[in-house]
Amino acid sequence: RYFLASRGLGDVYKRQAEVFGQEIGRAVGYKIRFKDRTAQNAYLKIMTDGILLAETQTDRYLKAYDTIIVDEAHERNLNIDFILGILQTLLDRRDDLKLVITSATIDTEKFSKAFGDAPVIEVSGRMYPVDVRYQPPESSKDENNDSTHVELATQAVSRLLKESARGDILVFMPTEQDIRDTCELIEASKPGKSRILPLYARLTGAEQARVFARSSERKIIVATNVAETSLTIPGIKYVVDSGLARILRYSPRSRTTSLPVVPVSRSSADQRKGRCGRVQKGICVRLYAEDDYQSRPQYTRPEILRANLAEVILRMIALRLGDIADFPFIDRPDPKSIKDGFDLLYELGAIHNRFQVSGVRRRAHDDAVAVSYTH
């Protein structure tokens, strides 16, 4: 039985069921929060990384599976890093377990080394040529006259609408407020027979489904980075990339966690560009300069290196993953950051020692863990 961990389940399990020529829930099943459609004799089971973490609590060696495929591994959130560490340990204990890690934009050398110099297989996907256009904001002596990324995106969409009468447009914005503002500005520009749709994680399933529904009208979809890897939107010919995203950061000095809007890495920018080269030749408009793109880091820093390690330590205790200093992370946290995390937990009275959560706080913490890893 195979297991596939994936961030965007909808496209995956439907496509796999088509390949097997069976209805969903038989040869191909899936498991999400509060719902499990997997037959007893299913061949392939698809679930999110968070659900897999939950399964490790009742099946420590994941004996229900002989092959595990971890998709979109480059996202490097805490769930994925926990899973990768667990799997490194399992490979030493299970000779029969096969592991495949897939991603379009990962540091293959680092991953290969972490898994005992595992072989790297490069598979060229079917991609059509994408014309990249850099349209940075024009500098102005008067700061009040500088265009915002919302205005720049609206202007780029207007130019694309005039350039061609066909092809859906995907616009990347960093925040929900930016999405709403962009949708309003595009609507005010009277884009003709076009359907303007927002897309972000907090929308209901029905609201998100409108993005995938077939329409005789041209779709202009304004999304956060949820459309970068978690969801694949069909029919996109144009991408307008603000080059920005909200990325979690923890400040040890102030002991606060924030979600600032920051420039995305080159790998994220390339992932966004690839959204418009899947079904035909595409155009990607980047609202920043080419020099800006070249100066950005290749990869986004993994969450373990920018998270509050006090929270990470509590989760690891709840998940029974052992000491954070010994856990085989792909990127190991700095020892000073680990010490700061323990110091904070001791000050709060959240733990008695390195492996035991204080009983008075245990229930509230377990609830928080459950929400976190099943989101």
The predicted structure's pLDDT at residue 9: 52
The predicted structure's pLDDT at residue 359: 54
Q: Is pLDDT above 50 for 290?
A: yes
Provide, rounded to the nearest whole percent, the portion of the chain with pLDDT above 70.
Answer: 85
The predicted structure's pLDDT at residue 14: 67
For the chain, first and last CA: distance in Å? 25
Q: Is pLDDT above 80 for 347?
A: yes
Q: Is pLDDT above 50 for 266?
A: yes
CA distances from 298 to 105, 266, 347 (A): 9, 5, 38
Whole-model pTM: value is 0.82
The predicted structure's pLDDT at residue 372: 30
The predicted structure's pLDDT at residue 150: 95
Q: Is pLDDT above 60 for 360?
A: no
How many Cβ atoms from other residues are within 10 Å of residue 302's Cβ? 19
CA distances from 299 to 80, 264, 270, 369 (A): 16, 9, 11, 27
The predicted structure's pLDDT at residue 73: 85
Q: Is pLDDT above 80 for 307?
A: yes
Rounded-to-integer distance, Cα 204 and Cα 210, Å:
10
Inter-helix orientation angle 359-373/309-318, to 10°:
90
**pLDDT interval class at 121 (50, 70, 90):** very high
The predicted structure's pLDDT at residue 291: 97
Instruction: Confirm if 343 and 109 have CB atoms less than 8 A apart.
Output: no
Q: Kindly report, residue by residue over 151-192, the tens digit of the pLDDT.
A: 999 999 999 999 987 899 999 999 999 999 999 999 998 888
